[in-house]
Structure 1
Amino acid sequence: MIFRSLLPVLAGSVLLYSCENSQAEIDAYTKRVQMQEVAQDVESYLSQAGKMKARLKAPLMYRVMSDSQYLEFPNSLHVDFYDDSTRVETWLDSKYGKYFENLDKVYLRDSVVIVTVKGDTLRCHDLWWDQNKAIFYTDSVATYRSPGNNISGGRGMEATQDLKTVTFRSPLGDMVVSSSGFAEAP
């Protein structure tokens, strides 16, 4: 009779002590897997609605598949943006880039330069490119030079992809202001 009442206690204690894993074994079983593909000398084309919008070239690309998928360009990248007639209207160079596939956004950093065929030039340390809105933006310092050598800059900037509209949130530097309060035309 006593044996029958001790049998469940004995079986439970055997089960508790027999299932033992080290923390390293548990971490190995529950570790998230991050798969990575590597490509060299990449040339890729972006089209929307059947029209070619951009061509990307990079010496090295990593495609990382984890919780959030992204493409990483650790050595540099060059992008040509096309108009509706597939003529290059803007090009971009950066030493580093990361494309977040789920967001359709690209993060660029380290010597980011954007130039239009008209000669507009935008330079900054880091920049976001929103493909859906066709805009560039940054919270860091950026400088913009127009074809007439007018230079403007500031902290925080938003620009259309073709650089036809460039807006600085906090302009830096000297500005000429007339008595009416508006900047005079150069």
Structure 2
Amino acid sequence: MVKPIYNTFNSIATIFVAMLFFSCGDNYKRVGDEAKKNVFPVGIAENFVLTYTEANQVIIADSTESSRVISVLTSPMQEDFTNLEFPYRTFPNGLHMDFFDDSDQKSIVKADYGIIYSATNLIDLRGNVVLESHDGKKLETSQLYLDQVNEWIFTHETFTYTNPEDGTIMDGEGMDFSKDRNFLYAHKTYGLMLIPEEKEQAQEKEPVDD
């Protein structure tokens, strides 16, 4: 009896596919969304409040010296990822921070979303970020970084800076300044700088020496 050729072909094809399947194993290189690992917080805190303090001098065991509050962070929710190799904490529902200088004058910053990187003590603020100093100066931008170690604040995004002292409003892109705002540098400025009419009129009325 002659064995049909097509049956022999089907058997060979089946064996080939099986060998190919088992030889490949799970060596498929995942990319994009498939490559993402699921990361879950080690803890979640609601109505979170964190107070940063600073001692006026070195505190010994029996000392009665009190520490000074330098900032207070509040948020509806904090997610704790400090169990990871590069630890951080997120504030998915926004946050509000109060800063106090050496004279206890308060400045505030708020944002729709925030991340604190524990290893570097860098704060990344995103979405409708507003920084307002005790004297009324205000910076508005979409993202702002607070470097607490170097007491430095910066953004690479577009911003609006309002200074009520001289009545000016400045638009630009990218800004660096120190925490006490003794140094302020804007990378790029554009748009109009508004000057109060009173100053313009005063300049026009200034007598000119003959």
TM normalised by structure 1 equals: 0.72
Counterpart-to-counterpart distance in 2, 1:80 and 1:114: 10
Which residues of 2 match residues 75-154 of structure 1 at below 5 A? 75-85=93-103, 87-148=104-165, 149-154=167-172
Structure 2 stretches of 5 or more lacking a match? 1-24, 27-36, 56-66, 195-202, 204-210
Question: For residues 43 and 169 of structure 1, do their structure 2 counterparts lie closer, same or farther at Cα, with a shift above 3 Å needed?
Answer: same
Moved more, 107-116 or 156-165: 156-165
Say whether the 8 Å CA contact 2:78–2:91 is kept in structure 1.
Answer: yes
1:173, distance to aligned residue in structure 2 (A): 2.0
Match of 1:52, SS? strand
Deviations 1:50-94 (A, max 9, x none): 432100010000010211100100001000001224x24211111
Match of 1:168, SS? strand
- Corresponding residue of 1:172: 190
Deviations 1:13-69 (A, max 9, x none): xxxxxxxxx75xxxxxxx897552100001111123443210001000001021110
Identity, in percent, stands at 26
- Corresponding residue of 2:47: 41
Question: For residues 35 and 94 of structure 1, do their structure 2 counterparts lie closer, same or farther at Cα, with a shift above 3 Å needed?
Answer: closer
Structure 1 stretches of 5 or more lacking a match? 1-21, 24-30, 177-184
Q: Number of matched residues?
A: 149
Question: For residues 69 and 127 of structure 1, do their structure 2 counterparts lie closer, same or farther at Cα, with a shift above 3 Å needed?
Answer: same
| Structure (1 or 2) with the larger CA radius of gyration | 2
Question: For residues 152 and 164 of structure 1, do their structure 2 counterparts lie closer, same or farther at Cα, with a shift above 3 Å needed?
Answer: farther
Question: For residues 172 and 40 of structure 1, do their structure 2 counterparts lie closer, same or farther at Cα, with a shift above 3 Å needed?
Answer: same
- Corresponding residue of 1:69: 87
1:164, distance to aligned residue in structure 2 (A): 4.3
Say whether the 8 Å CA contact 1:42–1:58 is kept in structure 2.
Answer: yes
Match of 1:117, SS? coil
Runs of 4+ aligned structure 1 residues displaced above 3 Å come to: 31-35, 162-165
